[in-house]
Amino acid sequence: MTDQADFLAACRDLLGDAYVLTLDADTAPFLTDWRDRFTGKALAVLRPATVEQVAAILRACAQWRVPVVPQGGNTGLVLGSIPDAAGTAIVLSLARLNGIRALDPVNRTITVDAGCILQTIQEAASAAGCLFPLSLAAEGSCTIGGNLATNAGGTAVLRYGNTRELCLGLEVVTPQGEIWSGLRGLRKDNTGYDLRDLYIGAEGTLGVITGAVMKLYPQPKACITALAAMPSPAHALRLLSLMQDHCGASLTGFELMSQYCLQLVAEQFPQLPRPFADAHGQYVLLELSSSQSEAHAVELLEASIGAALEDELIEDAVVASSVAQSEGLWQLREHIPLAQAQAGKNIKHDISLPISRIADFIAITDAALESAFPGCQLVCFGHLGDGNLHYNVAPPAGMTDQDFLANQDAINRIVHDQVHAFGGSISAEHGIGALKKADLARYKSPLELQLMRAVKQALDPQNIMNPGKIL
Ligand code: FAD
């Protein structure tokens, strides 16, 4: 038998034939990324159901030096969860390791397997009268292991933080196949280096996350939504300050959308609501949560909107008066990426900036792109309260997608150079994966890269964990 055949035979002994996929028809769904940009090749797709099976597979991978690509829901946007074209790696799907292990309402924690779908965790928390606040458009498909590995953000970061802030403990299988059980539900634990924080955001390059203890919160008594219209991003930033002053921690959502974003959504999804008769420059979707009552939330929101109108920060506003109306407003925000996908190709940038500098960044970068690619369409929206913009560029009318994509590197360079100049980050929430590796090397300092390589070398000296990703 060849080495590969020996390895696969060992995997079949560990998992059973049904969970070692090698036929193209079986492996295909695991090999293409969510946006259908790249299809890799794998020696096999392995589907363990227990932590011990994950550990045994990693010991086999270490023995045969087989690269491992961990995969959760495969919804990542930076080509991190699929293998390269060499065909020598395995995809390790965590999808069958998907149980809820424990829920402690007094400690306000939930302990889950890494392959648990995010929505399943939200529902389990809700059934116990608690809130698990991580929320993003892929929540019906993505897993908590993938959320942790990418330190996912989403729509509630403003109030509750990124996935990192929601995690109290981890269980990880090392590249040598040992199981580190750090499933402590402690809010304070200063006992040396924080290994948990090292694995969060590591995109599967240091080990495989198999379990996690996540924080739960009290469910808000009421949650209300409004859409405000204003002339410019500078007005939106002043509105953010005003809302934070008036509402404090009750402000749980603050999403910016440009006029062109809503125009695209209206063109592609005419059935969705059109809250304003007239066009405005920018819009902000506001969400307020109250731990007291609906009346309290309404009072806070109406007082804040009144103050914003008086200060001429906003030109108009609609407040949702029912759950259906609130969902309709959120759908406008959530349909922007879908509308873009239907409208044609675009070049995406998931960036973050110091909040106070966002308006200047948009003005300068819009002008630089317009000068280099006259008529290009700028689809700018995002979690403004977190300083996170999705700054996407679509082709000018009449330019083919192919001609436009030939300029991808030049467009990325214009946007990312500005991000760097403004003290921002080229990846706010999606990670680096294989897609942004060259950009990371360009914009991180040599010392940061050297320290990151030292960590990788120390934890994964054989370089079998998701090689070719991040570094
Ligand atoms: P995958 O895509 O399977 O993997 C992502 C990375 O994590 C890969 O590098 C993989 O190797 C690694 N990985 C996966 N599981 C493990 C594990 N158990 N142990 C170690 N490494 C692992 N992201 C945001 O932050 N905010 C958003 O608002 C947001 N919205 C999105 C909306 C849509 C429609 C889509 C498609 C994606 C969105 N994303 C967003 C991207 C986001 O990163 C993912 O949806 C999610 O966090 C990834 O989870 P997953 O289980 O699909 O991971």
Contact by Cβ (8 Å): 358, 258: no
Helices 358-372 and 233-247 cross at an angle (nearest 10°) of: 160
Helices then strands, each counted (H, E), the chain: 18, 18
Class of domain 344-430: alpha beta
Mutation test residue for ligand 1: of 32, 118, 150, the one with most atoms within 8 Å of CB: 150
Burial category of 307 from C-beta neighbours within 10 Å (exposed 0-12, middle 13-18, buried 19 and up): middle
Q: Of 291, 294, 155, 276, whose CA–CA distance to 224 is shortest?
A: 294
State pLDDT tens for residues 189-245. 999 999 999 999 999 999 999 999 999 999 999 999 999 999 999 999 999 999 999
- The CATH T-level fold of domain 3-93 is 3.30.43
**C-alpha span between 73 and 138 (Å, rounded):** 9
Distance, CA 2 to ligand 1 centroid (Å)?
35
% pLDDT > 90, the chain: 93
152 lines ligand 1 (CB under 6 A): yes
Ligand 1 atom nearest the C-alpha of 429 is 25
Query: Which atom of ligand 1 is the closest one to the Cα of 204?
Result: 21
Domain boundaries, the chain: 3-93, 100-218, 222-337, 344-430
Mutate to test the pocket of ligand 1, among 45, 47, 77, 440 (most ligand atoms within 8 A of CB): 77
Q: How far apart are CA 367 and CA 6, in angstroms?
A: 58
- Residue 340 in contact with ligand 1 by CB distance below 6 A: no
Give dist(CA 81, CA 38) in Å, integer. Answer: 11
pLDDT tens track for 280-290? 999 999 999 99
DSSP annotation of 128 reads: T
- Residue in 456, 374, 450 with CA at minimum distance from that of residue 206: 456
- pTM flag (> 0.80): yes
Average pLDDT over residues 344-371: 96
CATH 3.30.465.10 assigned to 100-218: yes
Nearest residue (CA) to ligand 1, atom 35? 138
Closest ligand 1 atom to 77 CA: 41
CATH architecture of 222-337: 2-Layer Sandwich (3.30)
Ligand 1 centroid from CA 97, angstroms? 16
Res 2 pLDDT > 80:
no
pLDDT tens track for 26-64: 999 999 999 888 999 999 999 999 999 999 999 999 999
CB of residue 72 inside a 6 A radius of ligand 1: yes
Name the residue among 184, 182, 147 with its Cα closest to residue 163. Answer: 147
Asked whether the domain spanning 344-430 has the same topology as the one spanning 100-218, the reply is: no
Contacts of 157 (CB under 8 A, 6+ apart): 383, 385, 386, 388
How much is the ipTM here?
0.99
- Pocket lining: 149 vs ligand 1, CB cutoff 6 Å: yes
3-state secondary structure of 186: coil
Model pLDDT for residues 131-152, shown as the tens digit of each residue: 999 999 899 999 999 999 999 9
Render pLDDT for 364-399 as a digit per residue (tens, 0 to 9): 999 999 999 999 999 999 999 999 999 999 999 888
Q: Which residues of 245-279 are buried (b: 16+ CB within 10 A; e: fewer)?
A: ebbeebbbbbbbbbebbbebbeebeeebbebeeee
- The atom number, within ligand 1, closest to the CA of 73 reads 52
The rounded Å distance from CA 430 to ligand 1 centre is 7
Looking at the predicted structure, is the pLDDT value of residue 429 above 90? yes
- Ligand 1 geometric centre to CA of 74 (Å): 7
- Ligand 1 within 6 A of CB of 351: no
Q: How far apart are CA 285 and CA 296, in angstroms?
A: 19
